[in-house]
Amino acid sequence: MTSRVALVTGGTGGIGTAIVKRLADMGHKVVTNYRNEEKARAWQDKMKAEGYDVTIVKGDVTSPQEAAAMVQEIEQKLGPVEILINNAGITRDGTFHRMKADQWGDVINTNLNSCFNVTRQVIEGMRERKWGRVIQISSINGLKGQYGQANYAAAKAGMHGFTISLARENARNGVTVNTISPGYIATDMVMAVPEDVRAKIVADIPTGRLGTPEEIAYGVGFLADEQASWITGSNLDINGGHHMGW
């Protein structure tokens, strides 16, 4: 397999870490961004102890200027970004009739606008080289909605709209663009939910369990593979059957 430079935004989180490891195991040179240097260095040290040499670069993906500087630094250190995983995301939950503007704006900026900010910096190079992989990490709640998450669901649904338009624009240039929509995954955030609430969630999942970050990372590896060149504009649901569509 050809070794490529892979950028995973939000790579220090639960799902992000699993994606970083998966891409590194595939032989790629993996890099992620950070805002808090102390936390990022501690994460990087932990990864090194596990045998993963991951590059970290400062960059706030909600800022077009910082995203541009981040990608420029990556390309100077490692070479052009050929695999991009738009994984950065936050939640600011609340019912819409009480939602504040900053709750809406923070989630849209981090989850959706970041896709523009980062992808815009790498797409021209991918088109010129006639090869690229862009993968959005969306959510089951972008498909089915969720109480108290109008902001999050809107952003996550928007990510797939972004995917299908980019897929059409770039298919003839050898660039595939796809979405993965995870269901409920056993990350620290989900495991912090009260046990009785978590039990109700699991009861609605046909497989009878939460997913693992590694199962999402497997999907990323599949779509990033050299042989996935005829898969573009797709949404891969990885949710244990929790939400099914066609």
Q: Is residue 246 part of a domain?
A: no
Catalytic residue among 34, 52, 147, 152: 152
**pTM beyond 0.85:** yes
Q: Is residue 29 part of a domain?
A: yes
Closest CA to 98 of 63, 134, 147, 153: 147
Tell me how many domains the chain contains: 1
Burial environment of residue 36 by CB neighbours within 10 A (0 to 12, 13 to 18, 19 or more): exposed
- Average pLDDT estimate for 173-199: 92
Task: Grade residue 199 by pLDDT with cuts at 50, 70 and 90.
Answer: very high
Helix, strand, coil share of the chain (percent; to 5): 50, 15, 30
State the pLDDT at residue 138. Answer: 98
CATH of the domain at 154: 3.40.50.720
State the pLDDT at residue 121. Answer: 98
Inform me whether the pLDDT recorded for 104 exceeds 90: yes
Q: Is residue 243 part of a domain?
A: no
Where is average pLDDT lowest: 25-39, 68-82, 182-196? 182-196
Structure tokens at 163: 């995917």
Task: Grade residue 3 by pLDDT with cuts at 50, 70 and 90.
Answer: very high
Q: Is residue 245 part of a domain?
A: no
49 lies in which domain range? 5-238
pLDDT digits (tens, 9 = 90+) for 105-121: 999 999 999 999 999 99
Mean pLDDT for the chain? 96
Q: Is residue 36 part of a domain?
A: yes
CB 6 within 8 Å of CB 204: no
State the pLDDT at residue 193. Answer: 81
Q: Is residue 244 part of a domain?
A: no
Angstrom distances, CA of residue 118 to CA of 2, 26, 171, 214, 242? 23, 23, 19, 24, 31
* Count of Cβ atoms closer than 10 Å to residue 148 Cβ: 14
Task: Grade residue 189 by pLDDT with cuts at 50, 70 and 90.
Answer: confident
Inform me whether the pLDDT recorded for 61 exceeds 80: yes
Give the three-state DSSP class for 70: helix
pLDDT digits (tens, 9 = 90+) for 170-182: 999 999 999 999 9
Q: Are strands 235-238 and 175-182 parallel, antiparallel or unpaired?
A: parallel
Positive/negative CA dihedral, 160, 100, 35, 14: negative
Active site residue 152: yes
- Average pLDDT estimate for 56-64: 98
State the pLDDT at residue 50. Answer: 98
Q: Is residue 148 part of a domain?
A: yes
- Percent of the chain at pLDDT > 70 equals 100
Q: Is residue 87 part of a domain?
A: yes
